[in-house]
Amino acid sequence: MKSTKHETYQDYVIRDGSLVGEFEEMYRDVDDPWEQTAHESAALDKSIGLALLKKHGHRRPLEYGCGLGHYTNRLYRELGAGAGLDISDTAIAKARQRYPEPTFFVGDILLREPLAEFKPDVLIFSKITWYVLDKLADFKALLTTYSGVSFLHLLEIYPEGRQSYGREYFVDLEGILDYWSGVVDIQDWGEVCRKEDEGGGRTFLYGKIK
């Protein structure tokens, strides 16, 4: 059995209500964190996101926090091009090995080079916002320099009592829309609720950067 630093992948990310952010260590130790491989095809919110990209005619999506590259590759196959960015060298190495056709970059969400090189027509935050809250204000400022490019945001929210980290930013779809509305002209939004979550759900918003 492989020896790992923590018992679960979650402990590499958020532990005891605080961000740990050991993403490189996680991808070295854990083969499939968040069960990305197993759940990609069944992720309804990501399918909704893809439908929105098709609806608005996008052809060059750039996914932030792409991990092992499954969604980036799906975007590539459906739209004809696709790029992914992740802070973990190991994750990107695995993504490039599995999916040689999309373009992959290593770096954090403030890196400008991928945008200059790939020239995306839409930027995608797919379920990563809770993990980059410390850089979110700077990312919002960065967005304002790319007026006219679109933005797709997918994020899971949790029932009251299930989450302590990040609640000062937003706790529901209304709060998420309010947070991004200053820099994004939001055109489509919604929430996929799951009965077992008793108030939790998966949110989506799409719009153009102002």
Tens digit of pLDDT for each residue in 22-41?
778 878 888 777 677 767 76
Q: Are strands 83-86 and 14-15 parallel, antiparallel or unpaired?
A: unpaired
Q: Answer whether residue 197 shows pLDDT above 70.
A: no
- Cα separation of 166 and 201, whole Å? 16
Does 114 score more than 50 pLDDT?
yes
Categorize the per-residue pLDDT at 1 as very low, low, confident or very high, splitting at 50, 70 and 90: very low
- Domain range list for the chain: 38-209
Measured in whole angstroms, how far is the alpha carbon of residue 130 from the centre of its chain? 9
Q: What is the mean pLDDT of residues 14-25?
A: 74
- What global pTM score does this model have? 0.89
Question: How much is the average pLDDT of 83-89?
Answer: 97
Handedness of CA 40, 46, 48, 53 (dihedral sign): negative
Query: What is the C-alpha to C-alpha distance for residues 191 and 172, in angstroms, rounded to an integer?
Result: 10
CA angle 149, 155, 161 (to 5 degrees): 150
The pLDDT assigned to 148 comes to 96
CATH 2.40.10.10 assigned to 38-209:
no
Nearest to 121 by CA among 83, 164, 174: 83
Q: pLDDT tens digits, residue range 61-76?
A: 999 999 999 999 999 9
pLDDT tens string 117-141? 999 999 999 999 999 999 999 999 9
For residues 3 and 11, is the Cβ–Cβ distance under 8 A? Answer: no
